[in-house]
Homo-oligomer: A and B are copies of this chain.
């Protein structure tokens, strides 16, 4: 329990003024004579004074910190999203507290337990865990991205249904008859399910069979690959795949090649997300691009409104775009 080396009081002593005056100089508030200002600045420099941010936070009851609760930052979509969120928040004077849940409910709870204790001024969440009870009766400003948390919390999401239609329609236009879809396990309360709904409606309307392989986000790459091998074994007739994200699309194409299928000749593939990093590393992939930057801007705006006390519980849905690659 060592004390801070040099504090406001020390500066006051050296400058020969009171703590109040130093605080005023620090915050540029109230009436100050130039002579006093200079004296205080000089003392601050001499002592290498640094104001203690925590003390200020305690008094002001705000931290200018926003917590980001997402599965992981090591992913093209979430990486870009968190980078955009950080950028938008920075512009408004907020810093970011990372809360990678790794899709572990206990970790998500642990983060929330802390963050809700005055650690942050607000929360932006996009983790995929179910039944986190702490979101009920929360008094902190919260915005969610692509996740239904509770009815009071506004959601920012892409138009997943339209995306599902675009993807499926592209494969149908390509002449595919046996289109398989991958998605999260069905019970996840995510707007993501709209992608599946769109796929199923179009397939039904066209009288085509539908199969959805469920791949949970947090499975290991090896596990996912195993599922995709199973996909080709159980459905050798598959000629089109609508993957619910681009990394799955990439894995499916790798497995397809191992099974002797050429893309796009024997198999068409459409992904989802269209993040920058995927566009750079896998530009040939045809995919549905989410407006990540706009989603970040909207989320931060909604959060700021809540922090400012404006009651905007409206949710936001943003348009997606089909990116034509060579895989479909």
Contacts and interface: CB of A to CB of B under 8 A. Distances in A.
B118 A280 contact: no
Interface in A88-115: 90, 95-100, 102, 107, 111, 114
B73 A86 contact: yes
Given A82-B73, A96-B97, A97-B95, A61 B4 contact: yes
A22 to B, nearest CB: 15
Contacts of A3: 61
B97 A277 contact: no
Contact of A51 (B4, B53, B117): B117
A249 to B, nearest CB: 9
A254 B282 contact: no
Given A4-B118, A51-B117, A281-B281, 16 more contacts: A2-B61, A3-B61, A50-B117, A52-B58, A53-B119, A54-B63, A55-B58, A65-B97, A73-B73, A73-B83, A74-B83, A74-B276, A75-B79, A86-B100, A98-B98, A282-B282
A interface secondary structure, majority: helix
8 contacts: A3-B61, A54-B58, A82-B98, A87-B102, A95-B99, A95-B114, A247-B281, A251-B280
A58 B7 CA distance: 13
A61 B100 CA distance: 25
Interface string A39-65: 000000000001111110111110101
Given A79-B74, A119-B54, A247-B280, A90 B107 contact: yes
A3 B2 CA distance: 28
Contacts of A116: 50
A90 B188 CA distance: 26
A80 interface: yes
A54 B52 CA distance: 12
Interface string A1-36: 111110000000000000000000000000000000
Contact of A221 (B58, B73, B87, B280): B280
A107 B176 CA distance: 50
Contacts of A107: 90
A216 interface: no
A55 B111 CA distance: 18
A250 interface: yes
A320 to B, nearest CB: 19
